[in-house]
């Protein structure tokens, strides 16, 4: 089953300097691996799929159809996306930004923690977490956040 359809996709950071040229690709449901030499445009393609480009840089032609999928991107170094010291503070900060009532924080925090199994290091400094633990916290934010918001 095709989940993401890319048709005639071209992209340039600077006009006329094409990084991606007339790409046609169908990405099926499930796990896919994107490989290629350094600088060939892997990160650029993922940022296009995530909708970061052309919003924040570059010029795009062609189409990316997500077939109803929501997009979320986790960076290779998950630490880049945190603003607070601990996972608990990070979650509360996000709940504040969503404009939720304070009396809802605890229930939503509990749900988020159970869902993503981060209870063991909820109050540990993020800088001291292992790579995998950081990814688990990042994963919570980038792919499960809508679920927690509406729970
Ligand atoms: N923000 C940017 N502005 C200008 N050129 C960029 C930018 N980001 C990446 N590039 C260039 O685009 C090409 C593809 O980069 P990238 O998608 O990061 O490659 P990969 O992830 O496959 O290593 C490279 O030549 C890189 O120098
Ligand atoms: Mg890259």
Is residue 6 pLDDT above 70, yes or no? Answer: yes
How many angstroms does the Cα of residue 83 sit away from the middle of ligand 1?
26
pLDDT in tens, 67-90: 887 776 777 676 777 889 999 998
H/E run at residue 25: strand 18-28
Select from 39, 60, 77 the residue to mutate for testing ligand 1; criterion: most ligand atoms less than 8 Å from CB. 39
pLDDT at 48: 94
The domain ranges of the chain are 3-65, 78-150
Nearest atom, ligand 1, residue 41 CA: 17
For residue 113, name the pLDDT band (cuts at 50, 70, 90): confident
How many angstroms does the Cα of residue 88 sit away from the middle of ligand 2?
30
Question: For the whole model, what pTM was predicted?
Answer: 0.69
Provide mean pLDDT across the span 120-142: 87
Instruction: Give the start-end residues of each E strand in 13-128.
Output: 18-28, 59-65
Please report which ligand is nearest the Cα atom of 45. 1
Percentage of the residues of the chain whose pLDDT score is greater than 70 = 88
Q: Quote the mean pLDDT of the chain.
A: 86
- Bridge partners (DSSP) listed for residue 61: 10
Please report which ligand is nearest the Cα atom of 40. 1
| Alpha-carbon distance values, 105 to 21, 92, 100, 123, 134 (Å) | 47, 7, 8, 16, 22
For residue 62, name the pLDDT band (cuts at 50, 70, 90): very high
Say if ligand 1 is within 6 A of residue 38 CB: yes
Provide mean pLDDT across the span 106-133: 89
Separation CA 102–CA 118 (nearest Å): 21
Provide mean pLDDT across the span 59-64: 96
């Amino acid at each position: 089953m095709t989940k993401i359809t890319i048709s005639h996709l071209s992209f340039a950071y600077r006009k006329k300097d094409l990084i991606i040229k007339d790409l046609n690709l169908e990405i099926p449901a499930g796990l896919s691996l994107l490989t290629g030499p350094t600088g060939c445009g892997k990160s650029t393609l993922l940022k296009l799929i995530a909708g970061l480009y052309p919003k924040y840089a570059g010029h795009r032609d062609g189409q990316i159809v997500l077939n109803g999928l929501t997009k979320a991107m986790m960076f290779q170094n998950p630490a880049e996306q945190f603003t607070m010291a601990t996972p608990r503070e990070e979650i509360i900060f996000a709940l504040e930004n969503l404009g939720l009532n304070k009396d809802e924080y605890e229930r939503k925090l509990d749900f988020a923690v159970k869902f993503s199994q981060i209870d063991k290091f909820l109050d540990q400094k993020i800088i001291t977490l292992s790579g995998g633990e950081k990814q688990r916290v990042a994963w919570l934010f980038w792919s499960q956040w809508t679920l927690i918001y509406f729970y």
